[in-house]
Amino acid sequence: MRISPSGFREYDARWRYPEDLDLEGMQAVGLGLGTQMARRGRGRKIIVGHDHRSYSPAVRDALCKGLVQAGAHVCDIGMSLSPMAYFAQFHMDVDAVAMVTASHNPNGWTGIKVGFDRPCTHGVDEMAELRDIVLSRAFDLQDGGSITPMPGVQAAYLADLAQGGVISRPLRVVCATGNGTAGAFAPDLLRRLGVDVIERHCGLDHSFPHYNPNPEALEMLDDMGAAVRDSAADFGIGLDGDGDRIGIVDQNGRAVFADKLGVLIARDLAVRHPGAKFLADVKSTGVFAIDPVLASHGATVEYCKTGHSHVKQRLRESGALAAFEKSGHIYFGPPVGRGYDCALRAAVAVCRLMDHQPSANLSDLVDGLPPSWCSPTLSPACPDDQKYAVVDRLTDILRGMQLHGDTIAGQPIVDILTANGARVQFGNGDWALVRASSNTPNLVVVCESFESQAQLHALFAGFDEILRQEPAIGAYDQGIGLSQRS
């Protein structure tokens, strides 16, 4: 059995396959998951889905074999998106879910997203418990397990998303999926809304011949932008490999980062739900906190820890109407949604937002936000077994700088939010974040300036100079690029 302990992460599990996890290892994960489910008294039924990677059916079969050995009744929904599996929990009234996917990770990765408490998924404690059961082989074998195919979930999921009927405004939209699983579902959904769809790399191809389906990466956003300009589309929608993250470009092909998109969606919701509360993760724009439109409708915004499990839990606890992550996870709580992240529901929200603004282009709405200049999410390499300690040491350095009145890019540090890494707030409203990635051997770095693009670059350079004191930090995955003004 091959199974790397480092694959069990903060809120899901991911391994290189078969180097770090083989099929016997995934069978053990299924046994551990079924054991954990029984011990927690969550019943015996569990929804299982998988993405379209070439090896995902085999990985799914191994997971299900282990679940059955633990006495679980597997409800197999077949090839699906992560939010489709979450939807199935409600549609079929089943508490537990296990989705076989590595999301937007490159080909050669696999993993699972799991949960027993809809709409929430496993967090740090639950993942640690599952890891310990699996690695110690402390399994509880039970008879009576089964696997039952469940047709019809895909159709029910799309019908649920299309409720509300077609939009009245004619829209031409580029739909880009990077040859990921979302290509099997997203174009159909948009056409049900009455949208003229221009498909971009929507054919399923597990080799990802153009780029990894990651709508946070500039490579995918730039390709979407070119497709929008070439087709004279109103905007472009990009979806990640398992359909839970969204990326947008406007009619000029300019990227609209997901946190700024979140402000627009929050504005649209706030009109219909005065006094609503919203969540934004610590990587997200400071515009949420200063937006006059949200304030005029009595909306409040709380910055919370990054990560889909953390956000779903906080959304339920707080009663927030919606939550937004810079990575493109967007969540809608009751009465708009069920509290989980779904990029297709977010795509519908963007189309209806534009329908509510029949005379405006998307760029008009973005340019109407308080102006700021943002970096993309940058991911310098850092080993999994060192990244959290590195961030702790950097936080101590930054606290020392604050105490001694030191500046970065000419600005004093006025506050450091440590809910998730270190979000450093400067005297002019600018901020910079460093945190450990929960999914890959990387750190996460984001900067935003409310002054100018030049100040953004100065801020990044000064912040990076602090980070370079740590020799374990390697190269960035992409450059700071053309920052976004909005």
Match 């109103």 to its residue by tokens: 234
Helix, strand or coil, per DSSP, at residue 271: helix
**SS3 string of 416-483?**
EECCCCEEEEECCCCEEEEEECCCCCEEEEEEEECCCHHHHHHHHHHHHHHHCCCCCCCCCCCCCCCC
Neighbouring C-beta atoms of residue 296, cutoff 10 Å? 12
Q: Tell me the C-alpha distance between 122 and 296, whole Å.
A: 36
| Cα radius of gyration rounded to whole Å, the chain | 22
103 is catalytic: yes
Q: Tell me the C-alpha distance between 243 and 103, whole Å.
A: 8
Task: Return phi, psi of residue 264, to 5°.
Answer: -65, -45
Listed in sequence order, the DSSP H helices in 124-217 are 124-136, 153-161, 186-192
> Cα–Cα–Cα angle for 441, 312, 46, nearest 5°?
90
Q: Which residues pair with 256 in a beta bridge?
A: 248
Catalytic residue among 56, 103, 284, 449: 103
- Token reading at 41: 């008294």
Would you name the residues annotated as active-site residues? 103
